[in-house]
């Protein structure tokens, strides 16, 4: 087992990688624990949960709402949950984001922790203290920064994850290597097949390396004023693709990373050889990389969705580009430049 610590202004977070969910009681103090989970995770892993009342929510992005938070508050009242309570979210990113938000607002904030059960939640959603819900069709529109006291990442629970969900986690993992650590990117190229096969040692190391990168970035810039923006690599175009094509987040981010890489080539920052490496690694994780072949989408609709995105500044859009493999920069891209790359490279 390995440990990584985030020490932020919004709290301290101890992230344990390689610990089993059966050992969760070791990390619960004498506080009264209440578990928040979703139906699927409760059905598969309920018998491994610590002894504690369980609040179940539904599954899917549609349940990530204030209504669900209200239902949790009501159950907390029924359970007479006072300020001494500890809320433990066991599940994917949705359970983590909702648990963190409910805990941070219940009685002005009670302690909480996560046992993330998807790869995406282990390497991304449970790390960094962003909590919240969707509002009126907008993703993560309402929320607070607040660090989970403890996060227990058990690689063994990933065995039951559907392959497409697993691939979404790997998209964020590739992103971490691409933006921050060329050595990690190279190691991923060598170990991709074994990580995909969920070989415990390899998987634990990959989760550790990714959490370490995200934690380092968050430790520098907890509330996203600068450095943390680099974690949006692939997400500017990716969010638009996600909206228009309705494909899973990680798959859309995979396409988005290819677009950002081509924009980087257009600015003479990245070599085509590095774009090829990125493509091959994403493909090794069964992620889509070719807009024309892998997806049927109307470039105009994607551009339209992108221009409505909140990250637009003046006549340009902030994109995270790669100066080299392992080194990200945030640059403003004019709509005309994006259009040019889309016309000449992406939708030929």
Ligand X SMILES: NC(=O)c1ccc[n+]([C@@H]2O[C@H](COP(=O)([O-])OP(=O)(O)OC[C@H]3O[C@@H](n4cnc5c(N)ncnc54)[C@H](O)[C@@H]3O)[C@@H](O)[C@H]2O)c1
Q: What is the 3-state secondary structure (H, E, C) of 231-262?
A: HHCCHHHHHHHHHHHCCCHHHHHHHHHHHHHH
Q: Which stretch binds ligand X (CB under 6 A): 106-114, 154-162, 174-182, 274-282?
A: 154-162
Query: In the stretch 59-98, what mask flags binding to ligand X with x, by CB under 6 A?
Result: x-x--x--------------------------xxxxx-x-
Shortest reach from residue 339's CB to ligand X, in Å: 28
CB nearer to ligand X: pick between 189 and 224: 224
42 binds ligand X (CB under 6 A): no
Site for ligand X in 285-324 (CB under 6 A): none
Which residue bears the tokens 């998807």?
118
Nearest to 189 by CA among 323, 272, 256, 285: 285
19 binds ligand X (CB under 6 A): no
Q: How far apart are CA 198 and CA 179, in angstroms?
A: 24
Whether residue 19 contacts residue 152, with contact meaning beta carbons closer than 8 Å, is answered with: yes
41 binds ligand X (CB under 6 A): yes
199 binds ligand X (CB under 6 A): no
Nearest to 257 by CA among 285, 298, 218: 285
Q: Which stretch binds ligand X (CB under 6 A): 122-130, 182-190, 257-265, 305-313?
A: 122-130
121 binds ligand X (CB under 6 A): yes
Shortest reach from residue 55's CB to ligand X, in Å: 15
Contacts of 61 (CB under 8 A, 6+ apart): 94, 134, 139
CB nearer to ligand X: pick between 59 and 283: 59
221 binds ligand X (CB under 6 A): no
Which residue bears the tokens 């069709």?
137
CB nearer to ligand X: pick between 97 and 111: 97
Helix, strand and coil percent figures for the chain, each rounded to 5:
55, 20, 25
Residue burial 62-85, b: 16+ Cβ < 10 Å; e: rest? ebbbeebbebbbebbeeeebeeeb
Shortest reach from residue 335's CB to ligand X, in Å: 26
Shortest reach from residue 321's CB to ligand X, in Å: 21
Q: How far apart are CA 83 and CA 54, in angstroms?
A: 18
219 binds ligand X (CB under 6 A): no
CB nearer to ligand X: pick between 217 and 346: 217
Q: Which stretch binds ligand X (CB under 6 A): 18-26, 57-65, 239-247, 317-325?
A: 57-65
Binds ligand X by CB under 6 A, chosen from 168, 179, 217, 258: 168
> DSSP alpha helices (H): ranges in 46-156?
66-78, 93-105, 119-120
Binds ligand X by CB under 6 A, chosen from 28, 44, 269, 324: 44
17 membership: H or E segment, kind and range: strand 11-17
Nearest to 275 by CA among 183, 196, 303, 283: 283
Q: Which stretch binds ligand X (CB under 6 A): 70-78, 156-164, 201-209, 289-297?
A: 156-164
Q: How far apart are CA 115 and CA 121, in angstroms?
A: 9
Shortest reach from residue 120's CB to ligand X, in Å: 4
> Which token pair is 44?
């598969």
Q: What number of chain residues touch ligand X (CB under 6 A)?
A: 27
Shortest reach from residue 129's CB to ligand X, in Å: 8
Environment class of residue 299 by beta-carbon count within 10 Å: exposed (0-12), middle (13-18) or buried (19+)?
Answer: middle
Judged by the rule CB under 6 A, the positions of this chain that interact with ligand X are 38, 40-41, 44, 59, 61, 64, 91-95, 97, 117-118, 120-121, 124-125, 128, 130, 140, 157, 160-161, 165, 168
């Amino acid at each position: 087992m390995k440990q990584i610590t985030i020490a932020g202004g919004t709290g301290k977070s101890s992230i344990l990688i390689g610990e089993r969910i059966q050992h969760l009681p070791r990390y619960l103090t004498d506080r009264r624990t209440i578990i928040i989970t979703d139906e699927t995770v409760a059905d598969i892993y309920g018998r491994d949960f610590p002894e504690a009342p369980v609040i179940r929510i539904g599954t899917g992005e549609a349940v990530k709402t204030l209504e669900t938070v209200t239902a949790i508050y009501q159950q907390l009242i029924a359970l007479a949950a006072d300020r001494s309570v500890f809320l433990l979210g066991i599940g994917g990113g949705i359970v983590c984001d909702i648990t963190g938000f409910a805990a941070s607002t219940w009685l002005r904030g009670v302690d909480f922790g996560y046992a993330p059960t998807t790869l995406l939640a282990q390497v991304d959603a449970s790390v960094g203290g962003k909590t919240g819900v969707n509002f009126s069709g907008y993703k993560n529109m309402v929320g607070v920064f607040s660090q989970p006291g403890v996060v227990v990442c058990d690689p063994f629970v990933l065995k039951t994850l559907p392959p497409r969900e697993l691939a979404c986690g790997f998209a964020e993992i590739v992103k971490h290597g691409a933006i921050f650590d060329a050595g990690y990117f190279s190691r991923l190229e060598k170990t991709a097949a074994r990580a995909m096969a969920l070989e415990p040692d390899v998987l634990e190391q990959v989760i550790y390396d990714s959490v370490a990168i995200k934690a380092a970035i968050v430790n520098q810039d907890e509330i996203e004023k600068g450095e943390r923006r680099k974690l949006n690599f692939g997400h500017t175009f990716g969010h638009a693709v996600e909206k228009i094509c309705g494909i899973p987040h990680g798959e859309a981010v995979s396409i988005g990373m290819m677009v950002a890489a081509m924009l980087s080539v257009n600015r003479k920052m990245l070599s085509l050889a590095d774009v090829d490496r990125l493509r091959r690694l994403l493909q090794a994780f069964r992620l889509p990389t070719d807009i024309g072949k892998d997806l049927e989408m109307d470039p105009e609709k994607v551009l339209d969705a992108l221009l409505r995105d909140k990250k637009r500044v003046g006549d340009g859009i902030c994109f995270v580009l790669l100066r080299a493999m392992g080194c990200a920069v945030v640059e403003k891209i004019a709509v005309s430049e994006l259009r040019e790359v889309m016309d000449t490279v992406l939708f030929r």
